[in-house]
Structure 1
Amino acid sequence: MAVYMHHLFLTTALAVLAVAATAAGNDSDSAALLSFKSSIKDPTAALSSWTTTSPPCTAAATSISTWAGVICLRGSVWGLQLEHSGLSGQIDVASLERLKSLRTISFMNNSFEGAIPAFNKLGALKALFLSNNKFSGEIPDATFEGMLSLKKLHLSHNQFSGKIPESLVELPRLIELRMEDNRFTGAIPEFQQKNLQVLKLSENALEGPIPSSFHKLDPSYFAGNKALCDPPLAPCSSTSPPQPTATSPPPPPSGKNNSPSNRTTIIVVLEVVLGLALLLAVALLIFCLLRRRRSPRQDSLENRTPSSLQKKASLKDEIYSMQGSPEHSLSGVSRKQGEPATKLSFLKDRGERFELQDLLKASAEILGSGCFGASYKAALPSSRTMMVVKRFRQMNNLGKEEFQEHMRRFERLDHPNLLPVVAYYYRKEEKLLVSNYVSRGSLAVHLHSSTRRGQPALDWPTRLKIVKGISRGLLYLYQELPTLITPHGHLKSSNVLLDDSFEPLLNDYGLVPVINQESAEELMVAYKSPEHLQNARITKKTDIWCLGVLILEILTGKFPASFLQKGHSGDRDRDMAMWLQTIEDSSTDAAVFDKEMKAPENGVGEMAKLLKIGLACCEADVEKRMELKDAVEKIEEVKE
């Protein structure tokens, strides 16, 4: 008994200390932010929610902020996203220095002016976005010294001048640097980073040759610098005439040696050469016409290696091998001899840079065919890094510029429970989305096919961990994509991937605006919600309904009936209602839970709590349905 009481005392003491530490951290962050607020001008009252009445971050488990533009992680301020707010004045870096967990800052699209602040005091910063302000003057060479964690720096659309600061050259983790539309002068320095993949310097006054390490970048990155040269721009012109070499032909004869007979001989030789060239051009034209009559698939099949031992083909061959199925054909993506019709547009530059032709030539295998099209796993030839290429034919709801703008929304999404979109390929008829390969596959496979694949079933602690990760990722999407009615829109078990530690990664999010409306209504999970089936509309709470259905699927191990039913929408609605009602009627019976979960006896009560949260999220009446913030808080309270 004494040992038990001693253990209880220690546990309670540690809990009190943890709460006290969190509260102290919140007080410290609050004071630092209020000090920062006092140093700047806020004419639109964008920071009116920054008050002493509530802390900037809630408990560490939920990490939700009620302060505008504050991003929390584990109970501390992790980021500031103060954009389009009309802010000006002096940025008090000393106040920000007190935010020990601060890792990302965005002051884009405001009215800050003058010299760049001393952000190198924030040595742990990973991302700094200052574009579209009125900063000016030269940036001292030492401005970024010590920022060893900095990965992304955006300084574009300001009035900076002078040369590019030397302290940027050796930042070890820098992968993205945007300095376009300023007044920078001088030469582009030799950057030392091997992983620097985005270097946008257009519309400045830079001069001289572009370093060879950047010759493969997009020419638009350097456009508008009249004195820049070498690839990917025009080659630098030589200032001195070429010197003759030992193998150079002698200069043409002059004077009396240039006789009429010599001129006649030269004319005859030229006529013969021109005649041969004309014949060769005609032959090439006939050859090209004959090749155009052959189908692309025929060319591809004839060029494949006829080996029965070949287990993997190139991605291009793998796609063409689907016997012409429109779901698995990439005809038109590549031009002659596999040259790309256009380059990939990169959003996430956390890995190596590659081109479309690299993917088309990569060894690959088909992963499956989803509701929007096929997915392929491709190994990059240079590093054998595995990527996944998903092909979409139903992404024509937006024009090119609107589509690209929507893709740029994904660029700054950064959360441990989101699978990043690394790059995309745009074509009017079809789109490709490229992401990293996740080895454990989808949650659906682990819930419904694990035993057939010889894998152990997911236990209760793992399933709870997955639910918490899903809810955190969904809440982050709602915070970062507030203009979307359904920031995910297609939340289901096959769109949740599991990494090596069974941490969930949300996939296929944010697609509602770009998918054709008729295809979205037919295929996307959000459009199977009660509000759409009954009133032909989706709401801000539609994703919550999808979350609830997913929670019930994870706990019961059973597929939601509406996902399998392909009949009339009324049939799907009735089947889903019956499925939910069956679970609700059995919510007090332990038999409702998946037997493969093998939960301990003292875990059934916590499982029942999570089941009730799932049912509350599945409330057919939108007004009565649980709010996402409340759902996440309650989910975080569930214990193993």
Structure 2
Amino acid sequence: MEEKQLQSAHLLPPPLILLLLLELSLVSASSSSLDGDLSALLAFRALSDPAQKLASWNWSDPAPCKTWLGVCCAQGRVTRLILEDLSLSGPDGLPALTRLDQLRVLSLKTNLLSGPIPDFSPLAALKLLFLSHNNLSGPIPPSFSSLPRLYRLDLSYNNLSGSVPATLNRLSRLLTLRLDSNRLSGPIFGLALPNLLDFNVSSNMLYGAIPPSLAAFPTAAFAGNQALCGAPLASCRDAVSEPSRPAANATTAAPVSPAAAAPVPPAAAVVASSPSSKPVAAPPGRPTPGSMSRVAVVVIVVGDFAVLVIVSGLLFSYFWRKFASKNPSRLQEGEKIVYSSSPYASQGGVAPGGWGGGFERGRIVFLEDAQKFDLEDLLRASAEILGKGSYGTAYRAVLGDGSVVAVKRLRDVQVAGKREFEHHMETLGRLRHRNLLPLKAYYYARDEKLLVYDYMPNGNLHSLLHGNRGPGRSPLDWTRRMRIAAGAARGLAFIHQASKASKLAHGNVKSSNILIDKTGNARLADFGLALLGPAAAARYSGYRAPEAPAYGRRPWSSQRADVYAFGLVLLELLTGKPASGGGGVVNLPRWVQSVVREEWTAEVFDLELMRYKGIEEEMVGMLQIALRCTATASDQRPRIDHVVKMIEEIRGEVSPSLESFDSVTDSPSTSEDASATTVGVGSQ
């Protein structure tokens, strides 16, 4: 009998024999031992590795926790399994991994796995689960609610269908939920995960209102769902509900039945369809009730439209004349530079067009060896708007001789008067460093203040990092990112060391204020302007230090707040995510800290950096610097000159010492303490 069984076994195909042996080993091995874990892994390999990428998985290996690809162990058990981009495929391998009951991290991103997601509830220790960029199908299993320690769940870029289960609300520790680019449908109004930092459900078929708990996430987190509404998308009152779906502003998430969604028939039709009623004929020569001639409809519509046009015209004329009579100068406010219809008083007389009567006569002042030109040359220059920043609008102006300058038109300037403004401009004009954008000239009048800079043709760091992330993009490589970080840090350190008495600060450090010159060198712009107007903290909240005033009416800046904002810039360089919200992340420092705390640092870095080899140590070093700079307590942040040294050590080079700052008079905006500068403002 035994001989016959052996003979029949030899007749089975080899793959089936292998599976039988693996199943036998799974039954015989203890489920709470390393042997049981390794048996589960071998079963997964047999079912999901046709390309033989897991050839290092071998029973005879004496140290599988060290040599098996992607396997990490702790206390004699498999705790981390990271198998990304290995062409793993098939629908049957995933259930074998549910035997790894001590698994904390499972990442199978960018493979070809298919079939439904198995029941992962046996993996009670699981903290991080990444299954994105596969071919998984079927619904999101409700068994995820049985993973109380789960922090991150990424199921994006699959073929999942069905609804987003409300049982996910039981995952009270969840920080990341990515379900984008699937075929999910139904409402999400019942979703309430208060600790979420990274969320994305874009490119699905979801509908209904967005819950208030998710309204803080950016628009991109919900894009591609045609029937979603509510903040941050369009108001539900403006949305049009689809047939057989609930209204966009409905308070319940239950779908509407086809019968309920059908249009309600008119009362006359109901009466006519009643078996006990008789049809009622209309009197001859009269239209039937509820009907109207086509001519009457056209006359009514045309008449209503004509009345609307006349009323709108009268109201527009009345308010336009009233506004123009009170403040004629503001009518041309948006055109002063762009179209050269300037109201500025010229150096020699009245400005062109007769607009100079109501304006104080001003003059343009050049600093050091700046190229000199007449004010009229500047006002007649062809110009285009570059953008609007925290302190004013920037223009690109082409002068008559072909040279190009950048002009910033300040707004909400709050200094005591002309002398204080000129004193501050002279101080800023003497700040000369290869990583600063020098102030060339300034113009002061009671109603207008202009600053003139060199024009930087290569844009700013924000556009290089976050602009055009789609096909055809030229990514910012690691070497350039490091060079920009080091240059910006040197420029900021020079500002901080420029005047020790007043503790001069930049006041508006952000990636859009790091410009790139013709040689690829980083130059800090807008430094020192924080002391001219109300605290800009509320305007760029993504970079706002915790200790900064949220809605400051008085000018405020701080060197320690500069360091915090620079740490945000470093995080942008490392993660590829914008600091001021976007990419599905609300608070970038908190998100990074939460990922690092869970020992999953690789998830932090920008995917565009993953193509470069041998930079992991440098990236981790820069990440440590960024986290120190963004410490919540200001006294725990390093000084910027220490940051410069740490960056140079990572780059393996040491630059010359910071240039000395000679004969600089303190700005009239003196500090009240050693770390912050706050200025009282007098009325003009």
Q: Calculate the TM-score normalised by the size of structure 2.
A: 0.42
Q: Computing the radius of gyration over CA atoms, which structure comes out larger, 1 or 2? A: 2
Q: Calculate the TM-score normalised by the size of structure 1.
A: 0.45
Higher RCO, Cα 8 Å, sep 6+: 2
